[in-house]
Structure 1
Amino acid sequence: MTDAKSTAFDWVTHNHPHWSAWNAHIWDLAETAWREYRSSQWYVEKLRAEGFTVEQGSGGMPTAFSATWSNGPGPTIMAYAEYDAVPGNCQIADTYRAPRKGLSRFAGGHTDPHSALGMGSLVGTLAAKAAMQQHGITGTLRFMGEPAEKVRGSKPIHAARGYYNGLDAIISFHPFYMMPYCNTARWDTHCGPYYAAIYEFLCETPETWLADAQGGPIPAAHTSARAPGANDAVVAMYTLSKMMRDHMLPHTGTWTLNETILASGQATADNLAAQMAMIMFAARCPDVAMLKNIYDVLDRNAAAAALASHCTVKRHWVSKSKPGLANHAMAEITYRNLWKAGAPSYGAEAVQAARAIQKELGLTPMDNPYADELSELIEPQEAERRIRQTIPAWQTHYTSDDYTDMTWFAPTVRFYIARPVLKAPPGFAYPDWVMNALGGIPASIDPTIMTAGKTIAGTILDLMTDRNALARAQEEFRARKTASADPAPWCDYEPPIDFPWPEYVETPRGRAWWIPATADDRALER
């Protein structure tokens, strides 16, 4: 190991108490897509304190940022943070199920967890910076703040607006979320394309056949049935799309279509037709043709629902995200540094927390409660072999994440570090709150950040100092991009920040989730 890498690895180890507290803070904020105000502000202030020049609100997105630090000529290497949580997953960082104090259980919580994703990337970047300064290694570090990953939000926009131009390499880290992607890097099969769009139904001129029902001045009086409205349109589109789902595409490959109802007008006016309602559909597909087929059907369903309910409909794009480009050279460089960093290991405190969770669920606590795979490494080629056993031979892309938009601008690695998961007795499945809690308990999540930080720092330093390795990665990138018929960004829309995304709000009671806490939430607290 070089002296510079030793310095970087030592920085990660010695600063553990600091970054552990930083991560716990971001995890506890648990702000959701497009509304990560405090989380992004924390990163901006920390990066500025570390000497980075920071553009806040990059790409027209209030919770995005673009940070740069340079100490002279050399490669420009980028890493990034995500920090969005998921509504409905509010969980205390403890060994029992309960929302964080004072919040609704429907508030946000880190499921992947993006808190550790962002912190691992920050720790690795700051460790590389410290080594560059101490050992006279010149170059430029870029660190991006990427909101709304759960709807593949910011990266297509940053890509289209030029924020990834001029980079020499990009490092993409994620806590592992499915086998065999645990302590490894992607090889050939990268994440696929994705569309998400909001269908907004407006009922500004409701149906008028009831106007003369009573001969009174109020067409929709309390004694008359209300006219169809925007809620009816959303329900019609929802049910029609569910019915048509099996006919949109044959059941080959791996694709999903999911929906979320964002808002409904006149929630407390039961005798008036709802004026506005929205539903978002998101599709993850192996290829672009499938995406276009799905959205052709959705557009027709929306038009039919609007016509039936006397509404108008508008489609608003949330995301158009490209499939990923592989880069073997980057995967090899990163995996070598993962091997040097070593897989995560779990100490006595982490084991105690895991055993307490098992006891809470009525299980016999295990001597070694964490999954064996968490402390093992798997070579990228072997992970690729295993994943290909689960998908059709023709399928080139698998699963979903918007790092893919970065892969079209510079050689990019996508690698995974183990996140804490528990062994399960035969036939038993842990409830969702368990993984959420383990992602917030420092003793169980810090090993993920430790390994990720060292891996990222070592990879940055290799790319800064080994120009031959970087040149191989760039040559491969150019060849793969040239072979593509569609190299340009897909984003042709404004940042979708003005929709009724769920968020935390300030109330006379203090900071709260937009859905208030109830007696049921309080009953879970201990």
Structure 2
Amino acid sequence: MVTAAATSALKFVDGRAGDLSSWTRTIFDFGETAWREYQSADWYVDRLRKEGFSVEVGSGGMPTAFCAHWTNKAGTTGKAPTIGMYGEYDAVPGNCQDAATQKRPRPGLSAHAGGHTDPHSGLGIASLGGLLATKAAMERHGIAGTLRFTGEPAEKVRGSKPIHAAKGYYDGVCGMISFHPFYMLPLCNTVRWDTHCGAAYSMIYRFLCEEPERWGLSDGAPIPQSHSAVRAPGANDALMLMYLASKALRDSMLPHQGGWSISEAILTAGQATADNLPAGMAEIQYMMRVPTLAMAEQITAVLDRNAEHAAAMSGCRVERHFVSKSRPGLANHAMAQITWDALNVVGAPHWGDGARSIAREIQANVGIDPMRDPFIDACEQLMAPQEAEAILRRDLPPSQTNSTSDDYTDMTWHAPTVRFYVARPALKAPKGFAYPGWVMNALGGIPETIDPMVTCAAKTVALSALRLLEDSGARKQARDEFIERTGGGVGGSKWIAPLCDYEPPINFRWPEYVTTARGREWWIPTAA
């Protein structure tokens, strides 16, 4: 049954569709990457305060995180429920695509700058739209409750949520609503059922060559001042040894299906001029996505050994700094059913003539014949959670209970949580053809193509939240299931405690925008 409050929320989203579209494009154009989302976070904080929320800035010790609250007492004498939602807004380095039908970076930037791939620009604004629609309906219909909205930076490195979880930001929530744009079948316009995302560890190995003159000496005498004198290989060599040794791990230790992966990124290197001086510091980051914590620990042990040997061979010492340690996800069928019911009321997104014309223009620009119906059919269809689950399980061994990766999983151990997907625009392709990466990125920024996803998701978030606020029976069912699955709730016999035993990794040389005499640009300067 669609309640009066739900009807009000749906009308609210339609009435603010222009704002949601403009806001999505704003965050898209910021294109800020992990731990450096300064403009994006400031924009959210300012918007939330204008909408009547109290906002804690820098929540959990993370400068680009926040936590917002709004409460409607509505004359209640008992404890009103708290519903949680969140926004993400980090982009990805090297994906600076303009909201255009051809490949080009955003104005004034190089292709190496940050850009939205998933896109988190639409993710965050869709959740914000659902939040504001819920608030409006609560005010109009006198519904008691509290809304909590967290700003979650650095999702691409699974950054903020393990930290927020460890610091209590998800505690006391009756239901957490997690939305993500669709990016892979069968998770298109559906809700996760049993197989939630897995565990992930990410760490930075820092190699430091502090006494290069003493490397290789047996008598302890200092080396002569000569360009031909022997010195330690240094930190760059340590990094390369680490990279090559761990590449063998990646190629042999991990299977190539089942949602496992390990990848690396070089953060800093060199730290010396083009002289014969060895590099004093180099850093390499690893991210692993695996089904279980035991696998994460096993891989970490191998990486640790590789790092120690690489350091010893090159005259360095090594430090390991964690970026993320996140838990595998926990299912909640009651929450999934609440949001699946909401998604059925809202319906799948639909792309109109304007969006189809843009899609055909892109197809022509990449050299294929424009199609009458250019969008993948599944993008405009709902799929039942159990059907999606069955398809997802086809390629997984029965023993594997988690697959792929996203850090919403840390929320699932503190509150009943739902994870749902709404289709982002994706294009059909002729047999044997693959679209270049810029196409999906561009579609995520063009209003005609991304807005249908944003409004559909915002409505689904709002209806899910209102169901939890208005239906105490549904709320109890979700809570009872959470208690059962955790063996008693937070701290229960089957509960996994937060793994975060590190400080927010905000002081590393993460890629970011800088201001120079040339103006504001990406840290890799824009070519003339």
Unaligned runs of 5+ in 1: 520-526
In structure 2, the CA distance between the partners of 1:333 and 1:349, relative to structure 1 (3 Å rule), is: same
SS of aligned partner of 1:108: coil
Q: Which residue of 2 aligns with 1:524?
A: none
Task: Tell me the CA shift for residue 200 of structure 1.
Answer: 0.4
Task: Tell me the CA shift for residue 138 of structure 1.
Answer: 1.1
- Structure 2 residue 381 is matched with structure 1 residue 380: no
Paired with 1:411 and 1:216, the residues of 2 have a C-alpha distance of 63
Q: Which residue of 2 aligns with 1:523?
A: none
Q: Which residue of 2 aligns with 1:58?
A: 59
- Structure 2 residue 519 is matched with structure 1 residue 514: no
- Structure 2 residue 271 is matched with structure 1 residue 266: yes
- Structure 2 residue 174 is matched with structure 1 residue 192: no
Paired with 1:292 and 1:245, the residues of 2 have a C-alpha distance of 15
- Structure 2 residue 459 is matched with structure 1 residue 454: yes
Q: Which residue of 2 aligns with 1:522?
A: none
SS of aligned partner of 1:326: coil
Structure 1 vs Structure 2: percent identity of aligned residues? 60
SS of aligned partner of 1:436: helix
SS of aligned partner of 1:24: helix
AA in 2 matched with 1:152: R
Q: Which residue of 1 aligns with 2:69?
A: 68
Q: 2:237 aligns with which of 232, 236, 254?
A: 232
Q: 1:398 aligns with which of 398, 403, 411?
A: 403
Q: What is the correspondence of 1:173-322 to structure 2 with a 5 Å cutoff?
A: 173-208=179-214, 219=225, 221=227, 227-248=232-253, 253-266=258-271, 268-322=273-327
Measured against aligned partners, the alpha-carbon deviations of 1:241-285 in whole angstroms (never above 9, x if no partner) come to 112334545677441111111101325433211000001111111
Q: 2:340 aligns with which of 335, 346, 350?
A: 335
Paired with 1:199 and 1:486, the residues of 2 have a C-alpha distance of 30
AA in 1 matched with 2:133: A
Task: Tell me the CA shift for residue 211 of structure 1.
Answer: 9.4
Conserved? CA contact 2:326–2:410, under 8 Å? yes
AA in 1 matched with 2:180: H
Q: Which residue of 2 aligns with 1:160?
A: 166
Q: Which residue of 1 aligns with 2:44?
A: 43
What TM-score, normalized to structure 2?
Answer: 0.95
In structure 2, the CA distance between the partners of 1:268 and 1:442, relative to structure 1 (3 Å rule), is: farther
Q: What RMSD, in angstroms, separates the aligned Cα atoms of the two structures?
A: 1.8
Task: Tell me the CA shift for residue 165 of structure 1.
Answer: 1.1
Conserved? CA contact 1:207–1:310, under 8 Å? no
Paired with 1:413 and 1:18, the residues of 2 have a C-alpha distance of 26
Measured against aligned partners, the alpha-carbon deviations of 1:189-216 in whole angstroms (never above 9, x if no partner) come to 000001001000000111446999xx99
Measured against aligned partners, the alpha-carbon deviations of 1:407-448 in whole angstroms (never above 9, x if no partner) come to 011100000000011000010000000000000000000000
Measured against aligned partners, the alpha-carbon deviations of 1:49-83 in whole angstroms (never above 9, x if no partner) come to 11101000000000000000001152100100000
AA in 1 matched with 2:388: A
Q: What is the correspondence of 1:400-479 to structure 2 with a 5 Å cutoff?
A: 400-479=405-484
AA in 1 matched with 2:282: A
In structure 2, the CA distance between the partners of 1:197 and 1:424, relative to structure 1 (3 Å rule), is: same
AA in 2 matched with 1:323: P
Q: Which residue of 2 aligns with 1:95?
A: 101
AA in 2 matched with 1:495: P
In structure 2, the CA distance between the partners of 1:134 and 1:486, relative to structure 1 (3 Å rule), is: closer
SS of aligned partner of 1:429: coil
In structure 2, the CA distance between the partners of 1:413 and 1:205, relative to structure 1 (3 Å rule), is: same
Which range is displaced more, 72-81 or 109-118? 72-81
Task: Tell me the CA shift for residue 518 of structure 1.
Answer: 1.3
Q: Which residue of 1 aligns with 2:86?
A: 80
What TM-score, normalized to structure 1?
Answer: 0.95
Paired with 1:241 and 1:515, the residues of 2 have a C-alpha distance of 27
AA in 2 matched with 1:338: L
SS of aligned partner of 1:86: coil
SS of aligned partner of 1:487: coil
SS of aligned partner of 2:306: helix
- Structure 2 residue 364 is matched with structure 1 residue 363: no
